[in-house]
């Protein structure tokens, strides 16, 4: 008989990848939108407007990467070991 074995959430990599992909896309779109809005309000040149969109998108991707790396590192590291010399 097949038993229904549930994987603990800290070891479920598919759920972590889904959450990180969702977080990355959402933060990319929101921060690029904020960059576009700020560029329209503050700058006249199209180049600086695109630069503000790119900066916003980079900030969004960077923050999503940081949060996702913390999620993945939390499951692999059990406890910090200190080497005593």
What is the DSSP secondary structure assignment for residue 79, as one 8-state letter? S
- Pick out the chain residues at pLDDT < 50: none
pLDDT at 53 (0 to 100): 94
pLDDT at 74 (0 to 100): 72
46 CA to centre of own chain: 28
* pTM beyond 0.85: no
Tell me how far apart the alpha carbons of residues 9 and 13 are, in angstroms, rounded to a whole number: 8
Asked if 24 and 65 touch (Cβ cutoff 8 Å), the reply is yes
pLDDT at 60 (0 to 100): 95
Asked if 36 and 49 touch (Cβ cutoff 8 Å), the reply is yes
Tell me how far apart the alpha carbons of residues 54 and 42 are, in angstroms, rounded to a whole number: 15
């Amino acid at each position: 008989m097949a038993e229904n074995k549930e994987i603990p959430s800290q070891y479920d990599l598919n759920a972590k990848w889904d959450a990180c992909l969702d977080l990355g896309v959402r933060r990319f779109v929101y921060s690029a939108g904020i960059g576009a809005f700020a560029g329209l309000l503050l700058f006249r040149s199209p180049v600086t407007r695109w630069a503000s969109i790119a900066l916003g998108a980079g900030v969004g991707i960077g923050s999503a990467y940081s949060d996702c790396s913390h999620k993945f590192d939390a499951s692999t590291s059990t406890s910090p070991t200190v080497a005593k010399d």
